[in-house]
Chains A and B, each alone.
Chain A
Amino acid sequence: DAGVIQSPRHEVTEMGQEVTLRCKPISGHNSLFWYRQTMMRGLELLIYFNNNVPIDDSGMPEDRFSAKMPNASFSTLKIQPSEPRDSAVYFCASSFLVNNEQFFGPGTRLTVL
């Protein structure tokens, strides 16, 4: 298996632009997690899905952030409009069950100028 796939690996954009991050979980996993990592705050859960349904989005910073999982093999995290404080590494992870071992993607390093 290729593991969790994220794209793009790096994204540089200007403030105000829309950013879309993509994630393909491991086949057969039914839970998907979006995390953000910054130097100041470390790793934080943004949102997680179980069977394509959002379960907990309390970590989503504000309305500028949205996430979707239209099917079992694809999820997006969108930021619109982006701000410099959104600069971080965004990780996607998946697991077979919601409270099982999680497998992380390589992350997307986002820089908002």
Chain B
Amino acid sequence: KNEVEQSPQNLTAQEGEFITINCSYSVGISALHWLQQHPGGGIVSLFMLSSGKKKHGRLIATINIQEKHSSLHITASHPRDSAVYICAVAGGSQGNLIFGKGTKLSVKP
């Protein structure tokens, strides 16, 4: 069993829809990261969180430490949100990230 599981693997949405991507992990962590990888290949850090909720524009990330679960929400989705979204966890004081397999999101106009 992978230490970091994401769902769904693939997601197709219509422009304007509310999107949720889920991440579950099985190890103790100090922080959870959400990353975005565009079709061109570049990786951008969206959020790093260890508790509660963070919001940036139309993106919201939540984490429940007790349930070892995090969600990434996109409100009013747009075709430019089409990308692979990757969840990664960091254990303790270590810098080594453990990555999920990613969720490929396609938003149709």
Interface residues, chain A, CB within 8 Å of chain B?
31, 33, 42-45, 48, 50, 55-56, 58-59, 89, 91, 93, 95, 98-104, 106-107, 109
Assuming A56-B96, A102-B33, what are 19 further A-B pairs, CB within 8 angstroms?
A33-B95, A42-B99, A42-B100, A45-B97, A48-B96, A50-B95, A55-B95, A58-B96, A91-B43, A95-B95, A98-B93, A99-B30, A99-B31, A99-B93, A101-B33, A102-B45, A104-B35, A104-B42, A106-B41
CA distance A31 to B96 in the complex (A): 11
Complex-state Cα separation, A31 to B94, whole angstroms: 11
Nearest CB of A to B87, in Å = 11
Q: Is B27 an interface residue (CB 8 A)?
A: no
B61 at the interface (CB under 8 A from A): no
- The CA-CA distance from A55 to B94 in the complex, in Å, is 9
Of all chain A residues, which has the CB nearest B98? A45
Given A42-B102, A101-B33, A56 contacting B94 (CB threshold 8 A): yes
Interface size on B, residues (CB 8 A): 23
Q: Does B63 contact A (CB under 8 A)?
A: no
Q: Let me know if A101 and B48 touch, CB within 8 A.
A: yes
Residue from A48, A91, A106, A109 within 8 A of B95 (CB atoms): A48
* Alpha-carbon separation in the docked complex, A45 to B86 (Å): 14
Instruction: Find the A residue at minimum CB distance from B4.
Output: A42
Cβ of B44 under 8 Å from chain A: yes
Chain B residue at minimum C-beta to C-beta distance from A93? B43
Indicate if the CB atoms of B41 and A45 lie closer than 8 Å: no
Does B73 belong to the interface (CB within 8 Å)?
no
Could you give 8 example pairs across A and B, Cβ below 8 Å?
A31-B95, A43-B86, A43-B88, A56-B95, A98-B93, A99-B93, A102-B45, A103-B45
